[in-house]
Structure 1
């Protein structure tokens, strides 16, 4: 496993944490953040969602940035948050919510929306008269969660807290980094992260698309394969532990 040399593309703070975990396991990594988190200005109607947080039987938080920004808002309106159930897709987001003192559940089997919807705790939380669910997320997230819950009779509101932008890099930054640092694997944490990778690769994508690409879910794997990625590894999660497990299971490619 120590032969892997990975490019990490998460936002800067998350890439730094992942790099530390990889280094402890003897894995070299290089950081090139492809997602810059930009908080959004909220409208009065969006702030009303937080002011009326007690109306919801469940709150779903889909990412770590959504957790941090959402809790900052909650603290302004609720010295003691309401006692509803909170949910996240992954363990890292759940930890942020739990550290705040919230009652949070998340799927252990995989870091995706499908696993969250299958949680018994989630089914129980929305088994009430006229269930209302709030989803905290970034701008333009997936609709599957809301569609499934609405099909079950729940009212769903979105609180979009940030957008993910592609940072500005000079042309050829990505292929040059791969070449100079002799990288043999790419890591993305979301569909948008892959789209930014593909965009930044430009004319070099035919070559970079042949590298081993580690992704967090079947959905992102399909996006990558549809764009021409030849060697996609689904880690079944976005955590450091999931990535390390995938690294152990796959041989290091020869230069």
Structure 2
């Protein structure tokens, strides 16, 4: 099934996005973490993309290699052979985590790993890479399995999108912040970008819920993050582990049908329990 068709399927359960892979038993953004996400039966895996000094796309979140590889260097200033030789620390890294046999993967390796197995959210650390990333995705015949994303909730964001070349044919996810007083204008701008999904932030969950029907009628599903550092209104993974009904259940009731989490196993168990 194509990514767009899966998200549009009205019969599906809330889709689970494994943030940087399922990384509790493997280094984040590693091939092993992606394999864990596939084995876990999650819908989507999110990975972070950067470009080496010699122009190769690779997977890493941070601006430096310190947290995950123990080297305080800027990866964009290094050749890909040096980057991909570095061993990654376990889980989310840091000095307390041991090194593993996993190394920094290239985007090409990731796309080959996921082919026909799981959908992929491509988080570009530099949006000016969008055309380059799109070209690689098309070259590998993976356009139906990934998404590209960028801001889409303002006229300025729409103008920027209009200038991007070569991204047609790849599912696009708009990103927007819904605030009381301007939520309708934000929804209008998002709809104009014609995404299949919207990664939404909000000042109150009710503000976003008020736009759900309008967006749904335009064929746009809602994606929200419960990641502790970037969640809205205290709707965090940590709170969800203590009271999933108050966090994940409340979000689903508001019309959110895609949740990105650092606790994909717990979210899956919760969704399955609701269906039982």
TM-score relative to the length of structure 1:
0.31
Which one has a bigger Cα radius of gyration? 1
Q: Which has the higher contact order (CA 8 A, sep 6+)?
A: 1
Structure with bigger helix share is 1
TM-score relative to the length of structure 2:
0.29
